[in-house]
Amino acid sequence: MLDNPFPKFALCLKLDNTMFSDDQYQLLDFGDGRKLERLGAYIVDRPSRAAEGVHRRQPRQWGDAAARFEIDRSNQGHWVCPQPLSPQWMLDHGSLTFQLTLTPFGHVGLFVEQARNWDWVIRCVRRAKQQLNVLNLFAYTGGTTLAAASAGANVCHVDASKSAVARARKNAKHSGLGDAPIRWIVDDVPTFVRREVRRKNQYDAIILDPPSYGHGPKNEVWKLTDHLPKLLQSCRQLLSSHRAFVLLTCHTPGYGPAELQAAVTDTFFGSCQVPVVARHVSISCVDGRRLLSGAAAWWPR
């Protein structure tokens, strides 16, 4: 078993919760490197590095899982489904609807810890005095894109995965946003950003949720520790003088709130006087514990 990269945070009680109704999402238990979640109609058991070093509270409940993601000795993962499971099912967050599916990487097509960020983006767009042009990078299956679009923004959605963008478009249709002003771009994010800088295009708000590692459509290599600073510098050139907000989230060990806060402050504003806020992102368990799921930095408050 891998060492826990977040050993002192798995039980921290000061972390923020996500905002789903109980019939849509619940973290039922976690521990021993795994988490047990109710996702809409199904209970799912899958790995969680942040859950290492702590023990499960409800061992009997784990037998209720309809799907379990297992990793063998060769580090290959696969789903085991002891109960009949639809290949696709739905999860709602307010007016947004997402189509879930079991992926070969142990994901379900949605990062539930981002829900509070979606709500924050909606508030930022609604309080703006103009229609905002929003750039969403590493946009995955579209949670933040749909949040911004639902509040009235024009959104440019960029992700290197063709399948993720296709699923995001389906989520837009499920959410009644099939005709919303969203540009769907399948591209390597740093390559797209450099191209936008050359075009002198600008955006009023920028959102980034970069992975630790990744590859673009043409096998371009992304490594957050090597490439994030340069990407942020390029993004700064895309931010308009009417800047409305910046959101950076991260799930990479070693990049906590302090590091993200410094990155956003130094890159976009160059002054510690600007009120960039940062926090741990977590999911609340039904027993009151919180499970760390990364970090976020955002401006303004």
Helix pair angle (224-238, 257-264), 10° resolution = 40
Per-residue pLDDT averaged across 165-170, rounded? 98
* SS3 state at 161: coil
Q: Which of 29-43, 91-105, 178-192, 208-222 has the lowest mean pLDDT?
A: 208-222
- Are 184 and 208 within one domain? yes
Predicted confidence at residue 7, as pLDDT, reads 35
Q: Which of 6-15, 17-26, 54-63, 152-161 has the lowest mean pLDDT?
A: 6-15
Q: Is residue 19 part of a domain?
A: no
- Are 126 and 204 within one domain? yes
| b/e per residue 87-113 (b: at least 16 CB within 10 A) | eebebbbbebbbbbebeeebebbbbbb
- Are 68 and 161 within one domain? no
ω into residue 82 within 30 of 0, thus cis? no
- Are 142 and 241 within one domain? yes
Predicted confidence at residue 84, as pLDDT, reads 84
Q: Is residue 7 part of a domain?
A: no
- Are 124 and 65 within one domain? no
- Are 278 and 189 within one domain? yes
CA distance 71 to 267: 39
Q: Is residue 252 part of a domain?
A: yes
Q: 2, 51 in Cβ contact below 8 A?
A: no
Per-residue pLDDT averaged across 127-142, rounded? 96
- Are 159 and 124 within one domain? yes
pLDDT at 8 over 80: no
Which are the contacts of 271, defined by CB distance < 8 A and separation ≥ 6? 265
14 pLDDT band, cuts 50/70/90, is: very low
Predicted confidence at residue 11, as pLDDT, reads 35
* CATH classification at residue 295: 3.40.50.150
- Are 42 and 172 within one domain? no
Q: How many domains does the chain have?
A: 2
What are 70-98's pLDDT values in tens digits? 998 888 999 999 988 888 899 999 999 99
Residue with tokens 């591209």: 187
38 pLDDT band, cuts 50/70/90, is: very high
CA distance 143 to 15: 21
Q: 210, 224 in Cβ contact below 8 A?
A: yes
Q: 71, 28 in Cβ contact below 8 A?
A: no
Q: Is residue 237 part of a domain?
A: yes
What are 265-287's pLDDT values in tens digits? 999 998 767 789 999 999 999 99
In the listed set 100, 125, 151, which residue is the last one of a domain according to the structure?
100
* CATH classification at residue 90: 2.60.40.1180
Predicted confidence at residue 216, as pLDDT, reads 86
- Are 92 and 193 within one domain? no
pLDDT at 249 over 50: yes
Predicted confidence at residue 228, as pLDDT, reads 96
What range does the domain containing 84 cover? Answer: 25-100
Residue 226, H or E segment: helix 224-238
Which are the contacts of 142, defined by CB distance < 8 A and separation ≥ 6? 157, 167, 168, 169, 171, 172
- Are 67 and 120 within one domain? no
Q: Which of 43-47, 175-179, 198-202, 212-216 has the lowest mean pLDDT?
A: 212-216
Residue with tokens 């408050």: 301
Q: Is residue 6 part of a domain?
A: no
- What does each C-alpha distance from 20 to 12, 104, 142, 150, 285 come to in angstroms? 20, 25, 17, 17, 12
Q: Is residue 20 part of a domain?
A: no
Closest by CA position to 51, among listed 15, 16, 9, 13: 9
- Are 123 and 215 within one domain? yes
Average pLDDT, the chain: 91
- Are 156 and 34 within one domain? no
Instruction: Give the rounded percent of residues in the chain with a pLDDT score beyond 70.
Output: 94
Per-residue pLDDT averaged across 151-173, rounded? 97
Predicted confidence at residue 272, as pLDDT, reads 66
CA distance 275 to 278: 10
Q: Is residue 155 part of a domain?
A: yes
Residue 296, H or E segment: strand 290-299
The single-letter DSSP state of residue 87 is S
Q: Is residue 8 part of a domain?
A: no
pLDDT at 31 over 50: yes
